[in-house]
Amino acid sequence: YPCEEGQICPEVCTGFCVFPQPTCGNARTEAGEACDDGNTASDDGCSTLCTVEFPWQCTTTPIGVSVCTLLIPELP
């Protein structure tokens, strides 16, 4: 049974396709994620929950991975 782009057939395929659950840290910004930089570390702009940390800004590249930039310099 052909699924639409981004959908999968569950383990027991009944003819209904579903969207897979998002996985934080897989380098693909998916539904429900504000960012995904490919790891599950915090303090790098994208948190362990795939939310953008302050004071960072994250953009998603065409391949889905997030690139985060610190907006203000760190204090000494």
Kindly list the domain boundaries of the chain, sorted by start residue: 22-76
CA angle 42, 62, 41 (to 5 degrees): 10
Q: What are the tens digits of pLDDT across the range 11-55?
A: 767 777 877 788 999 999 988 999 999 999 999 999 999 999 999
Does the reported pTM lie above 0.75? no
Give yes or no for a contact between 66 and 37, defined as CB atoms under 8 angstroms apart. yes
Burial profile 18-42: b = 16 or more Cβ within 10 angstroms, e = fewer: eeeeeebbbebbbeebebbbeeeee
For residues 28 and 3, give the distance between their C-alpha atoms in angstroms, rounded to a whole number. 20
Q: What is the pLDDT averaged over residues 53-75?
A: 91
Longest dimension (CA), the chain: 59
